[in-house]
Amino acid sequence: MPTRRIDELIWIALTDSVFRERLLNGQRHEVLATLSLTEVEQQAALAVKANTLETFAGALCQPGF
């Protein structure tokens, strides 16, 4: 599901360690609410099971996700 907004999400997570930590450790819903994601994008990001940014980004970039 690569979109411009998903790319922005990943870029912020790469460059902001606090954002990344919150994204991966139990505060994902709150972090995603600060972005202008569509409902589909937000649900996809919430569905990912990942402990690392690499795994998180990889899951979102899979075809059909």
Contact between 50 and 56 (Cβ < 8 Å):
yes
- Give this prediction's pTM: 0.85
pLDDT by residue for the chain (65 residues), tens only, comes to 568 999 999 999 999 999 999 999 999 999 999 999 999 999 999 999 999 999 999 999 876 65
Cβ-Cβ contacts under 8 Å for 53 (sequence gap 6 or more):
10, 13, 14, 20, 23, 24
How far is residue 63 from each of residues 1, 41, 58, measured CA to CA in Å? 7, 14, 10
**What is the maximum span of the chain, computed from C-alpha positions, in angstroms?**
29
Provide the residue ranges of all domains of the chain, joining segments of one domain with +: 4-60
Q: Which residues contact 20 (CB under 8 A, 6 or more apart)?
A: 13, 14, 53
